[in-house]
Amino acid sequence: MSSPRRHDVLVIGGGNAGLSLAGRVRRDGCRDVAVVEPRSVHHYKPLLSYVASGTATLADLRRPQDEVVPSGVRRYAGTVESVDPARSVVVLADGTELEYGDLAVCPGAELDWDAIPGSREAVATAHAATSYLPEQAEKTWTMLSSLRSGRAVFAISDRHVPCAPVGLKPLFSAVDVWRRSGALDSIEVELLVEGPHLVRHAEADRNLRAAADEYGVRVRLGTTVTSVDAGARTLALATPGGPQDLAYDALYLAPPHRALPWIAESGLATDGSEGFVAVDPETLQHVTHPRIWGLGDAATVATLPSGGALRRQVPVVARNIQARRKGRIMDRYDGYSVAPVTTSRRRLLLAEFDRHGTAEPSVPLVDLARPRPSLLLFDRYLEPLIYWHKLIKGRVS
Ligand SMILES: Cc1cc2nc3c(=O)[nH]c(=O)nc-3n(C[C@H](O)[C@H](O)[C@H](O)COP(=O)(O)OP(=O)(O)OC[C@H]3O[C@@H](n4cnc5c(N)ncnc54)[C@H](O)[C@@H]3O)c2cc1C
């Protein structure tokens, strides 16, 4: 049998994390970088929220994968089935084996419909949808924009949902449209949030609560959807006051996510990591396999997973791969993350914070946690250009 093909740095997943890291490592001078990514179309996921808000199309966020892989980086169009850390080998579904010098594991997370029995059946009907899947994002806006009366329920999980507060974008877009058309008087809007706040940034949280109040949205914190009856259109809830049922006419879900099963099966998870790649959240190095790194939605980064967080994680992993090889001191990631949230169809705020919830503004003097029209334009139109032309080419400092 021939020995596996070897790459100096091998990256699992050609999403935001994988392409940014591969491009960055290549730019830093590594000549032999490869990415394994099965999907032929790359998605800029943050625009899904705008598709679900009726202000973008799927065509705006899709590019052929081969066009966005950074130059000089080889792509394998296969699916990783397992990692064998003892042999430093990654095994693809077609049996191909790839050996690595260092391995970055960033295959993202998957929706966990099993966590809410009945939710998969519900989103197959016209009365429930999510922005967290491309095929559901357009349907979200069709459902919301056609509602004229009844109860609209928005339920946001805090179980590993990538950039969970952006689930509020379709809500604020819908209530804004409903108010202008007069329909808001006939629509009762309930926002169910599993966690203790809308966003982990005190001022941004206050501003979002004030915007919700202004539209008459009933906000219920600490409230979990435990099951959905798609036929009867009712939710079973666990609330601070005990179990309750709630009927809906339109249901938006930002559903729980989970780790891909082969991560744990390959020994890359630990007892406490819930199946996610167990890394030191500061150095992003695997806790037991020093040549394995984890970043993005797949790893235990101990903060809100987001594309914005990757701007800080990618340089840390790129530098730490070199630091390990040269015996230098490693860089540390402070858990910076960001949630851009609209408060209407005209304004957006940016909540930037570290892993302790302390505000960490990236721009001095301007208060980005205050909703502004300029921030909405930045997030909707400028960020995608920065993503395509800079971030996924590895120009991340
Ligand atoms: C609806 C939505 C809105 C969002 N809005 C924002 C926002 O406004 N701002 C923000 O900062 N963040 C936002 N995010 C979060 C952001 O998109 C993610 O945090 C980011 O994409 C994570 O990147 P990743 O590379 O870790 O995962 P992904 O982008 O999910 O990429 C993972 C890649 O790995 C591949 N893969 C999976 N399994 C395998 C396998 N077995 N073998 C090989 N490859 C595999 C997948 O095909 C995929 O391409 C949003 C996310 C969603 C879903």
Distance of CA 243 from the midpoint of ligand 1 (Å): 33
Domain boundary among 224, 256, 288: 256
Distance of CA 16 from the midpoint of ligand 1 (Å): 6
Same domain flag for 293 and 179 = no
Domain boundary among 199, 227, 256: 256
Tell whether 190 is covered by a domain.
yes
Closest CA to ligand 1's atom 37: 107
Per-residue pLDDT of the chain (397 residues; tens, 9 = 90+): 567 899 999 999 999 999 999 999 999 999 999 999 999 999 999 999 999 999 999 999 999 999 999 999 999 999 999 999 999 999 999 999 999 999 999 999 999 999 999 999 999 999 999 999 999 999 999 999 999 999 999 999 999 999 999 999 999 999 999 999 999 999 999 999 999 999 999 999 999 999 999 999 999 999 999 999 999 999 999 999 999 999 999 999 999 999 999 999 999 999 999 999 999 999 999 999 999 999 999 999 999 999 999 999 999 999 999 999 999 999 999 999 999 999 999 999 999 999 999 999 998 889 999 999 999 999 999 999 999 999 999 998 7
CA distance 384 to 257: 24
Closest CA to ligand 1's atom 39: 107
Same domain flag for 84 and 195 = no
Closest CA to ligand 1's atom 3: 46
Same domain flag for 89 and 135 = no
Distance of CA 44 from the midpoint of ligand 1 (Å): 8
Give the total number of structural domains in the chain. Answer: 2
Tell whether 369 is covered by a domain.
no
Tell whether 70 is covered by a domain.
yes
Q: What is the pLDDT of residue 376?
A: 98
Same domain flag for 99 and 58 = yes
What are the residues facing 258 on neighbouring strands? 110
**Burial classification of residue 243, based on how many CB atoms lie within 10 Å of its CB (0-12 exposed, 13-18 middle, 19 or more buried):** exposed
Same domain flag for 98 and 120 = no
Q: Do the Cβ atoms of 252 and 173 come closer than 8 Å?
A: no
Same domain flag for 80 and 131 = no
Domain boundary among 256, 279, 312: 256
Pocket test for ligand 1, best of 16, 49, 80, 362 (most atoms within 8 A of CB): 16
Give the three-class secondary structure for 350. Answer: strand
Question: What residues does ligand 1 touch, defined as CB less than 6 Å away?
Answer: 12-18, 36-39, 45-46, 48-49, 79-80, 106-108, 131-132, 162-163, 166, 260, 296-298, 305-308, 338, 340
Q: What is the pLDDT of residue 1?
A: 54
Closest CA to ligand 1's atom 6: 46
Same domain flag for 224 and 298 = no
Same domain flag for 168 and 179 = yes
Tell whether 353 is covered by a domain.
no
Distance of CA 179 from the midpoint of ligand 1 (Å): 33
Q: What is the pLDDT of residue 257?
A: 98
Closest CA to ligand 1's atom 38: 107
Same domain flag for 174 and 232 = yes
Q: Which two tokens stand for residue 66?
A: 């081969």
CA distance 292 to 312: 18
Q: What CATH number did the domain enclosing 224 receive? A: 3.50.50.60
Give the three-class secondary structure for 4. Answer: coil
Domain that holds residue 166: 112-256
Q: What is the pLDDT of residue 132?
A: 98
Same domain flag for 161 and 144 = yes
Q: What atom of ligand 1 comes closest to residue 340's alpha carbon?
A: 8
Q: Do the Cβ atoms of 321 and 25 come closer than 8 Å?
A: yes
Give the three-class secondary structure for 63. Answer: strand
Q: What is the pLDDT of residue 4?
A: 83
Tell whether 299 is covered by a domain.
yes
Distance of CA 305 from the midpoint of ligand 1 (Å): 9
What are the residues facing 36 on neighbouring strands? 12, 76
Closest CA to ligand 1's atom 7: 46
Same domain flag for 265 and 323 = yes
Closest CA to 76 of 147, 134, 150, 18: 18
Same domain flag for 247 and 288 = no
Tell whether 368 is covered by a domain.
no
Q: What is the pLDDT of residue 318?
A: 98
Tell whether 358 is covered by a domain.
no
